[in-house]
């Protein structure tokens, strides 16, 4: 899933290939409802900047540490060191945890909420700075796919319906988060997988700050570069799509069987049309056998086949016809062994 997150943040969607198994043209006739992710973003610049509070550093009056909080409670920390360095962008996130009781519903199917801060400048000397803050939410959701098919190794989905999930609950052993609501089958996700996602979104692998200037602290960028000077809503939509694809391709996910069309060669034989061919074969066989028998009854018909001796002892009569020898093949071969020939130039 971590690889899917990076793919959604940095890679073009055109290079993604769906995973499915189809020996030929396939069809999944019944609609299928499966678990996935969805992402939404909102511009919260005004309400977030209204909470901005800056404190002058005790060590240096030119340094100010500022904090602001988004409507969903995501804290954004920035720093300004006059004429030296300052924060130009920041990415931070909070996560949603299940309640303490095993059957207590969570506040919702949210996985994480993150905020992207952009100072609106790329240096220290810009004027008329326009700060912006986007708040994005990543949630579990249900997708209902209809008209799914595959033709010539091209996977197609006819219609996609997103079904928002109601608050879920943990099973008695707290091994899975379960979403059970009317109209869709029961969906669940392992608690350890949720824990891994929570840990990633709160770690330095995802959150980060970009600082520009001289003698600035060691950078902790995280995934901050993925959002710099880009549309937060588009990036979040790609992120959710990539995570959904990874979830549906997981070996532990449920698989749905469909039907496929296979080309079968069918041969229908009309035996009446073979009577003529059979009659011709039978007539030819009778003629051949009759010829052999008749030739055997005649003493003057010798079967020389392709013997060269027969050609050697043949001669041309006064009428210009080739007259074959009267001897048998074996007799001609004996004569050839005792006969000396010489070619003369005429």
With contact defined as beta carbons under 8 Å apart, do 195 and 176 qualify? no
Cα 255 to Cα 276: distance, rounded to the nearest angstrom? 57
Least confident of 7-21, 54-68, 77-91: 7-21
Torsion of CA 24, 25, 31, 34, to 10 degrees: 40
Phi then psi for 270, rounded to 5 degrees?
Answer: -100, 100
Burial class (CB in 10 A: 0-12, 13-18, 19+), 264: exposed
pLDDT in tens, 169-192: 888 777 888 888 888 888 888 888
Distances (CA, A) of 165 to 24, 132, 139, 169: 35, 30, 9, 12
pLDDT at 270 over 90: no
Q: What is the mean pLDDT of the chain?
A: 82
Query: Is pTM beyond 0.75 here?
Result: no
Listed by start position, the domains of the chain span 2-261, 271-337
- pLDDT on residue 100: 46
- pLDDT on residue 124: 47
Least confident of 13-27, 61-75, 134-148: 13-27
Residues recorded for the chain: 346
As beta bridge partners, residue 176 has 190
Q: Pick the more confident residue, 116 or 174.
A: 116
Token code pair at residue 123? 């240096």
DSSP string, 103-125: TPPPS-SEEEEEEEEE-S-SSSS
pLDDT in tens, 258-268: 788 777 888 88
Residue in the block written with tokens 């995280």: 222
pLDDT in tens, 134-153: 999 999 999 998 888 877 77
Token code pair at residue 45? 């610049």
Distances (CA, A) of 29 to 36, 184, 257, 336: 21, 17, 10, 85
pLDDT at 289 over 60: yes
In the predicted model, what is the mean pLDDT of residues 237-249?
87
Cα 237 to Cα 190: distance, rounded to the nearest angstrom? 23
- pLDDT on residue 290: 87
Cα 112 to Cα 197: distance, rounded to the nearest angstrom? 9
């Amino acid at each position: 899933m971590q690889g899917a997150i990076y793919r959604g943040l940095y890679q073009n969607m055109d290079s993604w290939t769906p995973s499915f198994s189809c020996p030929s043209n396939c069809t999944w006739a019944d609609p299928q409802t499966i678990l996935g992710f969805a992402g939404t973003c909102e511009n919260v610049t005004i309400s977030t900047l209204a909470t901005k509070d800056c404190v002058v550093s005790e060590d240096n009056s030119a340094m100010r540490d500022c904090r602001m909080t988004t409507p969903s409670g995501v804290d954004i920390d920035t720093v300004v060191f006059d004429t030296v360095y300052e924060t130009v962008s920041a990415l931070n996130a909070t996560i949603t945890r299940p309640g303490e009781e095993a059957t207590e519903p969570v506040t919702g199917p949210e996985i994480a909420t993150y905020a992207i801060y952009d100072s609106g400048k790329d240096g220290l000397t810009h004027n008329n700075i326009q700060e912006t803050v986007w708040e994005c939410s990543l949630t579990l959701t249900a997708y209902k796919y209809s008209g799914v098919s595959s033709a010539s190794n091209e996977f197609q989905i006819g219609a996609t319906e997103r079904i928002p999930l109601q608050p879920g609950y943990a099973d008695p052993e707290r091994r899975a988060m379960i979403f059970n609501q009317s109209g869709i089958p029961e969906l669940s996700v392992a608690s350890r997988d949720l824990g891994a996602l929570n840990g990633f979104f709160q770690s330095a692998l995802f959150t980060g700050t970009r600082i520009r200037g001289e003698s600035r602290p060691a950078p902790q960028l995280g995934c901050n570069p993925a959002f710099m000077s880009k549309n937060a809503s588009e990036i979040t939509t790609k992120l959710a799509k990539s995570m959904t694809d990874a979830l549906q391709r997981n070996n532990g996910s449920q698989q749905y069987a469909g039907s496929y069309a296979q080309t079968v060669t069918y041969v229908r034989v009309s035996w009446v049309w073979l009577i003529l061919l059979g009659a011709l074969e039978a007539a030819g066989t009778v003629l051949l056998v009759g010829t052999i028998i008749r030739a055997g009854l005649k003493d003057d018909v010798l079967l020389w086949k392709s013997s060269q001796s027969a050609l050697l002892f043949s001669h041309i009569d006064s009428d210009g016809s080739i007259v074959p020898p009267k001897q048998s093949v074996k007799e001609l071969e004996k004569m050839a062994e005792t006969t000396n020939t010489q070619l003369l130039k005429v």
